[in-house]
Structure 1
Amino acid sequence: MWKGKAESPSAVVPTTTQCATTQRDAESTTISAQHGSIINQPQLTGVNVTGNITTNINNTYVQAPARTDETAASPKTKENIQRCQEELQSYLEDETENLFQGTEKDGSSTPMNKIYTKLYITAGGSGEVNSEHEVVVLECRRCTSEEEIQLNDILKALPNEDKPPQRVLTKGIAGIGKSVAVQKFTHDWAVREANQSFQFIFPFTFRDLNLIKDKLYSLVGLIAEYFDLDLETSDYKSCSILFIFDGLDESKLPLNFEKNEMCRIVTKTTTVDALLTNLISGKLLHKASVWITSRPAAASKIPPKFINRVTEVRGFNEKQKEEYFLKKISDNDVAQKICYHLQSKPLRTLYIMCHIPMFCWITATALQSLLTGAHDSELPKTVTEMYTHFLIIQTTRKNEKDYQEVETDKDRKKERDKDMIMKLGKLAFEQLQKGNIIFYENDLKECKIDLKEAAVYSGVCTQIIRRESGLHRQEVYSFIHLSVQEFLAALYVLETFIESGQNLLPSQSKVRIRSLSGESLMVLLHKTAVDMALANDHGQWDLFLRFLLGLSQDKNQSLLQNVFGFEVRRPLNNQETITYIHRKIKNLSHTDKSINLFQCLNELGDQSLVEQVLKYHNLGDVSKMSPAHWSALAFEVLLSNEDLDVFDLKKYYKSDEVLERLLPVLKASKTALLSDCNLTDRCCEYLSSALSSKSSGLEELDLSRNQLLDSGIKLLSDGLKSPDCKLQRLSLKESGVTIKGCQSLAGGLSSNSSHLRELDLSHNKFHDGGLKLLSKVLNKCSLKTLRLSECGIKEDGCKCLALALRSNPSHLKNLDLSRNSFGEQAVAHLCGFLRQPDCQLERLWLSKTNLQKESAAALASALASNLSQLRELDLGENKLEDAGVMEISSLLKDPNCKMEKLRLAGCRFTESGCAALASSLRSNPAHLRVLDLARNDLRDGGVQLLSELLAESLCQLETLNLRCCTITATGCQSLTSALSGSSALKELDLAYNRLMDHGVELLCDWLRNHQCRLEILRLSECTESSCASLASALRSNTSQVRELELMKSHPGESGLTLLYELLNDQEYRLQTLTVPT
């Protein structure tokens, strides 16, 4: 049968004493099965689950084979399969229909469909190991933009996939709700609501498989130990089957994929480990599907090549937290008070931790009791206070249970409670040191814990009973959540130090240390704990440290003394500990660890650094801010409700040192704007660490105009290699990159090119050599935008680039090669790429690339091959002349041409070229939105031809640049006459022409036209009279102009006055005015 594992309040309610009991625990009925197997009919006694969960999904490399069907099976086989399927579904429906709150004996079960709400699942995640404490990662993490997917679709093909994933790994931190996802998935299948493509689902837990790890089984025999099915051996091959293995992090199996013997036959007897590795690798029942759940730290036990998709359970989102409390607590007023309390700024940490369903349950348990109690109690404000109240509440409930004779002596009760808490704390600490979250009967006996008494303490220590397939019994234990284990461990270490002076932490000799007054030197314990937590690279002791310091507070000590009778001590001054932590923050090179130290200061009631930094920052006096202050600001920002999607260093202070201290904020953002911030290669090392961090959601990084140099690019590339790097857009414009930097960058992209979509390397002189190195990896990338403006690229570099793009033409949408000196032969190479049938290029920038009229002909021919894709073309500052413009114009009249932006500034063409351009556009006027013809000798005749285009009813031109085109008032009259009808034009540049006052007056008449939609106008050499006319026109009720630029003008005092009055008057739309001063 299936052994469920209670893991979160959504998945579990922690007061359960028996979360799942296999059939082996119950009286077994032996029946005959095929091939002499013995089948024990199973029984499940309870699995506790409530609430919502959040999950992530990420696809990896292996293509799943098609699921099997039974079309080839005989009628008799089909009948047997159908019967067995119905029996299994009926059985699993019964075992998964209820979620238990409290123990099953209390009868507090709730139907799954009543308490359980829709899971929120998003695309993303990898199978790599996390190097930070799970709770700390959660606190520093903000949601990234990922594709939503439903729980029941986890094993289905996504819209962009041909086949479903065959092997799925779901990871999530302790208590986040992985097991409840398994139970919900299984239940929906059993009641025939989802995933009916699977004929059989067999759920197992690693916790249960640990008990038979030394036994030998065939796959048929293993299934027989759990499920009462009379399947033929041949049925396994003809059926579509899903195996679920829950709790990989609890596995004691070696999972030796390399050395285990091969097993392809379902009746072959081998080790349980070999059965699992052969199933997961696809050697045994190669068409069966496998779903595995795990905490992140253990996910790497499965080689990535065997996983098709990685998903991540993320817990509750903001809306679901409130929804949980409203469902969990019947009194809506109490539920609303809890939500309001948690959302207040001082309690932001508690609210963030409510992403974990189990913490929601702990919080609801503690706060509901305090709010509905007979006496008014101050509500908890820190994590430690919350857990202290939770422990007290669970102890109170325990005393109400029928354990032994009723205790009437309060002192005896306190003594017994304290003794039990210390035993549990000893167990928690010793197992935490070993890295264990599950333990066995011998572990409890070593701590002198009575098994029956432990069962009574069900709210503190969850007993999960497992038996060895009817052969022997063995009990498995765990705390309801890792954080409860860490809390009890901290309590045990602290109280041992207080009562005996013995420091149990490993970095100190275990001797008794007393001050002259006889009181324990608490600061010694604190310092030891701080040093121990900082020395651990994986954050194993981070939350333990918080609890230890929080429990040292007089308020929590008083609660523990009153309820449990812990030793009374004089009030403690923690200032020396606070000073020690301040010093550590100041000198800390690992900025992520500083966040946990600020949480520790919060537990100690110290806000001095945060208060100072807010004062300096609000006054704009950042010169007084020390490195520790910047770390404090990072902590404050992370705990605020501030939108962290965009991190802009310019809002703070532009330097490497400040960026390093604010790195946790950067990691929580999606976009980091670091351009022109005086950064050097020093910043690249910690930016690299941010890119490779699992908790980072960074998708866009702009490092333009910083002197990073090749040394910085090398460091940055190390982060790009990480499978956890989610970066999609990277700008390194003008960063001092040479050929060496390109080599490093190419190495980073070749290792992990799956996410990056935009790369900007403009204004770096790496020449052809650097581009050759980059081109080697472009055929593996999925870049949509590549910017290489002014990189010293010539013919050889262009040839390598074109060849790389020809081998991978379907991704690139935008290509910028402007300001490189190509020549005619380079264009020929580029045209080879443009002619590819799969070329999807939409925007091509080739301004100032030394193109000639001959190049224009070749380019036009190549672009015609995929003309329907092209949306923007920039050929400005090239010597195309009239002949070249005529070639480009031929594209525009093609009905397939949907070009929206055309830039031909400075191409040295005249009225003749303009005639061809205007003629082509008149035959296909509906698509073009932007036309830049600046710095060409169009004269009034050319403008008149363009005006005919503008008069077309289908013309949708919004931006027209005619700067420096030798236009006079005559051309201006043609233009305004054409625009006087309905026009879409919003931006017009006529600067550096010869309009004179008369030309400006004609423009002003048009601006007064109620059909004029112009918003931006650029002129030059305007006189005082012209400025007065403009001010008058812009004061008309119809004027839409919000930006006016008057270069090299002479407005005079009166003209300036009129224009500035207009700018400052909120009644009018003008927002930006540029005039000579």
Structure 2
Amino acid sequence: MAELILEILWDLKKEDFETFKCYLNEGVLEGCRPIPWGRLEDQSRPGVVTLMKDYYGDKRVNITQEILKKISRNDLIERLENGQSRSKAASPLSSSHQGPDTGNEKLAQRIKEKQKPRLEDKYKDTTEGFGNSVEFTPLNNIYTELYVIDGDYKGVNNEHEVWQIETVSRKQRKEDTPIKCNNIFKRLPGQDITIRKVLTKGIAGIGKTISVQKFVLDWATGEANQDVDFMFVLPFRELNLIKGEYSLLGLLQEFHPETEGIEDIKLDDYTLVFILDGLDESRLPLDFQRNKRLSDVKKTSSVDVLLTNLIKGNLLPCALLWITSRPAAANQIPPKSFHRLTEIQGFSDQQKEEYFKKRFRDQADLAEKGFTHVKTSRSLYIMCYIPLFCWISASVLETMLDRPDIGEIPKTLTGMYTDFLLIQPNIKNEKYGNRNETETKKILESDKESLLKLGQLAFQQLEKGNVVFYEEDLRECGIDVTEASRSGVCTVIFKQESVGCKKKVFSFVHLSFQEYLAALHVLDSFTHNKFDAWGSFLPSEPSELSEPSELSLHDLHKKAIVKALKSENGHLDLFLRFLLGLSLDSNQSLLQGLLKQTGSNSESIRKTVKYIKRCFEGRSSPERCINLLHCLSELNDDSLEKEAQQYLSSGKKISPAHCSALAYMLLNSEKVLDEFDVNKYNTSSDGRSRLIPVVKHCRKAVLSGCDLTGESCEIVASALQSVSSPLRDLDLSSNNLGDSGVEPLCAALKSPNCKLQTLDLSRNNLGDSGVEPLCAALKSPNCKLQTLDLSTNNLGDSGVEPLCAALSKLHTLSMGPSVSNGESTPQQLRKTNRLHGSNRGAIQAGAV
């Protein structure tokens, strides 16, 4: 009957459903205790059905009938009675069956009593990424609440994730709607929808899996979501290992053996949560178009078919579903499949400091020293937005800050990762006691073969776009699986397959560390003239293919820079930064015993710095230009930023290269600009285009008369859709955008994240076809625009008509002298506006 009651509740409108819950709180039948409002208030329809089952058993049908009478829904009463009769007629045992509080209910309770302790034991501790090479730490001792928002940033899926850190969501604002991890399925105030399927996006290491871990742990320990009966965690990296066909129930028992006997329970009577963690790690096709439909939880099929039907709601349609993914992989599942999209935005500045305090909870001085050091390096401080990078930094600084003899504390990204690599062999030797060497060089020499093979693995998997890999991938690189499982560099997850043999899943502690080791592999191959190891990866001239040994370090740098600049999504940006940073003598000296020294590199580094500066003169995207600035930082060269500041203060003409540096500095300023007027900067049109990304970091942007390109319009549209954009006033006048140029802007205006209030599109050669999508955007409930200037455009009668309907939303519409057939446009708008009865929109007809 639970399924039938749920169908009835789905047919109730929001206000009737709220009234239904109020009656449950009051009590409608004698002898039936009221359900406390604290348990009812935020409940979804499936949650209410579960509560009624817990409180009333078989009487829940009678209570439903009584409440439906009180809210005058006799049609639903008839459906309930007919459904109940059919249910009884279908089963000869139903007359003696007393509902879920008999044998099946007792079985469900026994399974629940087994599952909660098992999940608590599994998720109560965290290793913070070290795999098998460190002591376990209680999760509740280290966990810092992450900033999760309702909605997600549009347009980041094609960017390197480290670039997203710097441009998307660092500055959380009061307009954002934060959601606590444990409330992921609960409605926000004013929302009239039951949240059953949730997709949470977040870049690598941002805290998706740790959020899942906390969510499950709090349920298992009774801290939250106690209306949930069963919880099933199915990580994609482990689902990849499942071969053959399973029923959904069989798959659940494979991952949760404590649920043995669950096939005897009618799961529709219970509140279930499925968590599919790490969609980006999936190697399953997930073909939502061609996979067969499946609705029987006992029928066998491939894992791929089971998952697509679970996600589409064909299997267990009332179950709650939470999927996590890196942004680039999220489009594997149709967006319409979800009731809520959320994004984990990582640590705010305050949370970064809180993490360090928790990490060194018994060493306040060390916590302060560590956090202060990180703040002195802009690149390190930005990266600490990622919780896992906070852990990497804290691990390194914990080792170094208390030892003045240890050497210089790293200030660059490459330096930090190099020191992080160095502490891994020391940890391994301390734990397993295989050797007594204390000198870093000797330790690296002893681990050289395995580390360089891991570098080869990292490079090969980076080329393929894989972030998890399996035993066969390791064997291709000649890696001993047992040795790899004892390395702190890899995290190993064991999964017992149906055939009874143990399988292992490998990943690097973070995607960025995979890119670091890939760069290490390329540099090592270069020093040993192993051109075959990376030659196909980097562009080459025909003459170089025959004499690879004649390539200089600078030649290698040039090839990597050219390859990275040609990448549209910047997937090699971080790899390039590490490759250049590892070329410094200071970093190579730390890696003695592992990396063959390339000799004195000062001349090659000087040439590379000069070459990078010349690259700014090309037509690379702003993202690639800013990454080149990071590359200069890795080479300990900050001359370009200093020169940009000098040019700005002197009033001299600023080169495009210096505009890129200036844009980077403005984007990373803690203070949001009140106004950004691109015309105030003495530079060329190319230089102005390099400054366009600053619109993401200002309240008012003036981009008038600067010959905006289609790419620039996309950047502006992206800024408008960012959840963290403070942009409220935008002047795009005199840019000759035309009808096609406004299309991305119109799409942005419909975004729920867009907060733009004033838009100037005057003198842009807009015609009637350009006004149509603009009016559609104005009608969108998400559009916040109050003032619009369309003066001096080419609007005809067919363009004016749809504008009339938009006047009810606008405070001010400025038309000025626009081309029209017949009446002047402002007069026609006033006339039509009166016919429509609108008294809100004000039309300004004066020339602009």
Normalising by structure 1, we get a TM-score of 0.64
Contact 1:261 1:274 in 2 (8 A): yes
Residue of structure 1 equivalent to 2:812: 787
Residue of structure 1 equivalent to 2:756: 729
Residue of structure 2 equivalent to 1:418: 448
CA-to-aligned-CA distance 1:1023-1050 (integer Å, 9 cap, x gap):
xxxxxxxxxxxxxxxxxxxxxxxxxxxx
CA-to-aligned-CA distance 1:674-707 (integer Å, 9 cap, x gap):
16x4334x35541323423776844536444721
Distance 1:797 1:187 in 2: 70
Farther off after superposition, 546-555 or 531-540: 531-540
Matched, 1:820 2:826: yes
Instruction: Rate the CA distance shift 1:219–1:825 in 2: closer, same or farther, 3 A.
Output: same
Contact 2:459 2:521 in 1 (8 A): yes
SS at match of 2:495: strand
SS at match of 1:534: helix
Distance 1:752 1:251 in 2: 39
Instruction: Rate the CA distance shift 1:79–1:535 in 2: closer, same or farther, 3 A.
Output: same
Residue of structure 1 equivalent to 2:225: 195
One-letter identity of the residue aligned with 1:358? L
Distance 2:637 2:691 in 1: 20
Instruction: Rate the CA distance shift 1:473–1:108 in 2: closer, same or farther, 3 A.
Output: closer
Residue of structure 2 equivalent to 1:320: 351
Contact 2:205 2:386 in 1 (8 A): yes
Match of 1:334 among 352, 360, 366: 366
Instruction: Rate the CA distance shift 1:635–1:190 in 2: closer, same or farther, 3 A.
Output: same
Matched, 1:402 2:427: no
Residue of structure 2 equivalent to 1:1000: none
Distance 1:565 1:657 in 2: 41
Residue of structure 2 equivalent to 1:915: none
Contact 1:170 1:291 in 2 (8 A): yes
Mapping of 1:691-710 within 5 angstroms? 691-692=717-718, 697-698=724-725, 700=727, 702-704=729-731, 706-709=733-736
Instruction: Rate the CA distance shift 1:729–1:571 in 2: closer, same or farther, 3 A.
Output: closer
Distance 1:824 1:433 in 2: 61
Mapping of 1:126-165 within 5 angstroms? 130-141=157-168, 142-145=170-173, 146-165=176-195
CA-to-aligned-CA distance 1:775-830 (integer Å, 9 cap, x gap):
57x59xxx8535223457999999xxxxxxxxxxxxxxxxxxx9933699646413
Instruction: Rate the CA distance shift 1:572–1:502 in 2: closer, same or farther, 3 A.
Output: farther
Matched, 1:529 2:569: no
One-letter identity of the residue aligned with 2:425? T
Residue of structure 2 equivalent to 1:243: 274
Instruction: Rate the CA distance shift 1:406–1:109 in 2: closer, same or farther, 3 A.
Output: closer
Contact 1:701 1:731 in 2 (8 A): yes
Total equivalences in the alignment: 744
Match of 1:183 among 213, 224, 228: 213
- Cα distance, 1:734 vs. partner? 6.0
Match of 1:307 among 308, 316, 338: 338
Contact 1:348 1:640 in 2 (8 A): no
Higher-RCO chain (CA-CA 8 Å, sequence separation at least 6) = 2
Match of 2:200 among 170, 188, 191: 170
SS at match of 2:321: strand
Mapping of 1:268-417 within 5 angstroms? 268-329=299-360, 330-344=362-376, 347-373=377-403, 375-402=405-432, 404=434, 406=436, 413-417=443-447
Contact 2:813 2:842 in 1 (8 A): no
Residue of structure 1 equivalent to 2:254: 225
Instruction: Rate the CA distance shift 1:474–1:553 in 2: closer, same or farther, 3 A.
Output: same
Distance 1:492 1:752 in 2: 55
Mapping of 1:629-1028 within 5 angstroms? 629-644=658-673, 647-649=676-678, 652-653=681-682, 656-667=685-696, 669=697, 671-674=699-702, 677-680=704-707, 682-683=708-709, 685-692=711-718, 697-698=724-725, 700=727, 702-704=729-731, 706-709=733-736, 711=738, 713-721=739-747, 726-729=753-756, 731-733=758-760, 735-737=762-764, 740=767, 743=770, 746=773, 749=776, 753=780, 755-762=782-789, 764-765=791-792, 766=795, 768-774=797-803, 778=806, 784-791=809-816, 820-821=826-827, 826=832, 828-831=834-837, 833=838, 845=842
- Cα distance, 1:470 vs. partner? 5.0
Distance 1:103 1:579 in 2: 39
Instruction: Rate the CA distance shift 1:161–1:340 in 2: closer, same or farther, 3 A.
Output: same
Contact 1:126 1:310 in 2 (8 A): no
Distance 2:583 2:160 in 1: 22
Matched, 1:259 2:290: yes
CA-to-aligned-CA distance 1:103-150 (integer Å, 9 cap, x gap):
687783333333223332223306876111101111233425311221
- Cα distance, 1:612 vs. partner? 1.2
SS at match of 1:386: helix
Residue of structure 2 equivalent to 1:590: 621
Residue of structure 1 equivalent to 2:121: 94
Residue of structure 2 equivalent to 1:495: 524
- Cα distance, 1:560 vs. partner? 1.3
SS at match of 1:244: strand
Give ranges in structure 2 of 5+ residues lacking alignment.
1-43, 59-98
Distance 1:216 1:565 in 2: 47
Distance 1:427 1:527 in 2: 24
Contact 1:498 1:520 in 2 (8 A): no
One-letter identity of the residue aligned with 1:673? A
SS at match of 1:290: strand
Give ranges in structure 1 of 5+ residues lacking alignment.
1-62, 799-817, 835-842, 850-1077
CA-to-aligned-CA distance 1:157-194 (integer Å, 9 cap, x gap):
11111333111001111111101111111111112222
SS at match of 1:287: coil
SS at match of 1:662: helix
Residue of structure 2 equivalent to 1:484: 513
SS at match of 2:531: coil
More helix by share: 2
SS at match of 2:602: coil
- Cα distance, 1:377 vs. partner? 1.9
Identity between Structure 1 and Structure 2 (%): 39
- Cα distance, 1:529 vs. partner? 0.4
Distance 2:765 2:818 in 1: 12
Residue of structure 1 equivalent to 2:594: 564
Contact 1:738 1:770 in 2 (8 A): no
Matched, 1:113 2:140: yes
- Cα distance, 1:598 vs. partner? 0.6
Distance 2:405 2:225 in 1: 51
Distance 2:609 2:199 in 1: 43
Distance 2:809 2:166 in 1: 33
Distance 1:322 1:235 in 2: 48
Instruction: Rate the CA distance shift 1:518–1:103 in 2: closer, same or farther, 3 A.
Output: closer
Match of 1:125 among 138, 141, 152: 152
CA-to-aligned-CA distance 1:475-532 (integer Å, 9 cap, x gap):
1111100111100110110121123263714234599979999885011110110011
Instruction: Rate the CA distance shift 1:408–1:531 in 2: closer, same or farther, 3 A.
Output: closer
Distance 1:773 1:541 in 2: 46
Farther off after superposition, 755-764 or 319-328: 755-764
